Amino acid sequence: MVSVTDADAAHILGIVPVAAADFVDLGGCHVATLRSIGLGLRAADANRSIYVAAISRGAGTYTAAGVSLRLGFI
């Protein structure tokens, strides 16, 4: 369960679910690609920061560097 305060929730730009069916097994790893999701990102006027959070609901055992998230901007 994730708990987000109302104050923090006001700044959430969107949620992008990644389903198990989105992943491809490459032998030593699994990769999911979601393209053209149509989610615009804009930092708050007071700064230039955008924070990203990822939640794994699976029962996997991950190392500190075992999960990567790559974002592309155009």
- Would you place residue 60 in the very low, low, confident or very high pLDDT band (cuts 50, 70, 90)? confident
For the chain, counts of helices (H) and of strands (E): 1, 2
- The tokens of 23 are what? 């992943």
State the chain's mean pLDDT as an integer: 84
Are 14 and 39 in contact by the 8 Å Cβ rule? The answer is yes
This model's pTM is above 0.95: no
Phi/psi for 21 (5° steps) reads -70, -15
